[in-house]
Amino acid sequence: MAQVLAMKGSKKLLNAWAFYDWANSVYSLVISSAVFPIFYGALFRAAEIEKVTIFGGEIARAPLISYVTSLAFVFIAIVTPLFSGIADYTGNKKVFLKFFCYLGAASCIGLYWFSLENIYFGLVCYFFGLVGFWVSFAINNSYLPDIAYPEQQDGISAKGFSLGYVGSVILLVFNLAMVMQPAVFGITDSGGEVAEIKAMKYSFISVGIWWALFSQYTFKHLPKGYKREGERTNVILNGFKELQSVWKQLGEEIRLKRYLGAFFVYSMAVQTIMLIATYFGEEEINWGTDGERTTGLIISILVIQVVAIIGATATARASKVFGNVKTLIAINGFWVLLCIYAFFLQTPMDFYIAAGLVGIVMGGIQALSRSTYSKFLPETTDTTSFFSFYDVAEKIGIIIGTFLYGVVAQLTGSMRNSTIFLGIFFLIGAVLLLRVEKQRSS
């Protein structure tokens, strides 16, 4: 214990924690946001179909991936507190961080075999890729108050997201080169599969290797975690009891409770946009040829990542001047305008402009949300349980957001109409944050 406390706030420890974002953000960019959505749409276009028969019924490609995503987050919302409870009692949450990191990396590699003929296996890999990323991300988040003092948390949280953007852009540029010029990398048409599709599959392998390899620096320097004192009972179900305990404590922490309510609402919209944006662009924007579509979508994602590096840093600085909550209110208002703009997107240039605007606030709202929650926590060594509660709230929001997005797309035949629902969530989030600011001032 003494050794962990002595290391708290040290540059080496802070950088090791932040570096996990460098390792795992390639999943968020290449798999969730960029290459996989393009690959997924290309499979259906190549087969000249829009629907697939699965689980005894026909379903269009956009609602299918949205529903699988929702199901994955149901699973994530269950297992996160389960393993957090075990981690609290064993005092070795780094073991679980490693497990879910490697599960996600292996699932990314498994996406190489994703095909319409092998749809079940492919969706399973997609499913566990999400699980590995989000559960390991939650565990890494729970380290923040353990390794950084309150005055360090905004800065190191933003640095983590910035590292993630830089690392993921580097790998995406490499993958983009493979997809656009496969012959240069020795990738050619074979077995009825075009070279561009094969290059996308190789990019999935590169994500798995990158994620597992670069996480080793984080694993080397992070402490094992705090070991809970006292009698160990109900270890397996302890995580759910801890959530109940945290909920009871929120009754005395009014500001924290109000903040979590606001976060639940606006995070629902943020994470849904992150997961669905490329599918929206792939389906709703008039790109022209398939090649122009692939290039345009990946360029759009690159724009978001590059601008987000600046956005995360600028948001951290704004929070020092105006305060965390006021900055978050302003960001939510900006998101409302973005959602209205997204409803009218038609051309590639429209989408590029939207990508740049999203980048300004995408990284900032995530980094600031994480550090604001950490600052509002009561004095405790049980950080895993509090961050487990935070992550479960986030995941339940994603379940609702992605499910509603899929339902609206299926019922209306267009993903465009769902943007209005997301804008309403941001508006409500801003209103709820005003209550947090009022509580802080009182």
Query: 415 with 283: CB under 8 angstroms?
Result: yes
In the block, tokens 């802070």 appear at 14
Report the pLDDT averaged over residues 200-220.
93
Output the pLDDT for position 1.
39
In the chain, what percentage of residues exceed pLDDT 90? 18
Q: What is the pTM of this model?
A: 0.74
Which ranges in 251-376 belong to alpha helices (H)? 254-284, 290-322, 324-343, 348-376
Torsion of CA 90, 374, 301, 306, to 10 degrees: -120
Q: Work out the number of other CB atoms within 10 angstroms of the CB of residue 216.
A: 12
Among residues 342, 361, 349, 345, the alpha carbon closest in space to that of 304 is found at: 361
Structural domain boundaries of the chain?
Answer: 16-226+239-441
Instruction: Give the separation between CA 356 and CA 358, rounded to whole angstroms.
Output: 5
Q: Judge whether residue 235 has pLDDT over 70.
A: no
**Of the candidates 245, 282, 229, 325, the residue with the CA atom closest to the CA atom of residue 65:** 282
The answer for residues whose C-beta is within 8 angstroms of residue 406's C-beta and 6 or more apart is 62, 63, 66, 67, 70
3-state SS, residue 190? strand
Confidence of residue 415 (pLDDT cuts 50, 70, 90): confident
CA within 13 Å, CB half, 105? 19
- Please give the Cα distance from 368 to 329 (Å, whole number): 11
Q: 56-75 pLDDT, tens per residue?
A: 677 777 778 878 888 888 89
Q: How far apart are the C-alpha atoms of 200 and 186, rounded to whole Å?
A: 14
CA-based angle 398:272:167, to the nearest 5? Answer: 105
What contacts 323, CB < 8 A, 6 or more positions away?
437, 440
**Distance (Å, rounded) from C-alpha 337 to C-alpha 322?**
21
Closest to 112 in 3D by CA, of 100, 103, 101, 125:
125
pLDDT band at 193 (very low <50, low <70, confident <90, very high): confident
Res 165: pLDDT = 76
Q: What is the pLDDT of residues 252-306, one digit of tens each?
A: 778 888 888 898 889 888 888 877 777 788 778 888 777 788 788 878 877 887 7
What distance in Å separates the CA atoms of residue 105 and residue 51, rounded to the nearest whole number?
Answer: 29
CATH architecture of 16-226+239-441: Up-down Bundle (1.20)
Is the pLDDT at 387 greater than 60, yes or no?
A: yes
**Residues paired with 52 in a beta bridge:** 59
Q: Could you write out the DSSP letters of every residue in 45-63? A: HHHT-SEEEETTEEEEHHH
237: confidence class by pLDDT, cuts 50, 70, 90: low
How confident is the model over 73-83, as a mean pLDDT? 82
The string of pLDDT tens digits covering residues 321-360 is 888 889 999 999 999 999 999 888 888 899 889 888 888 8
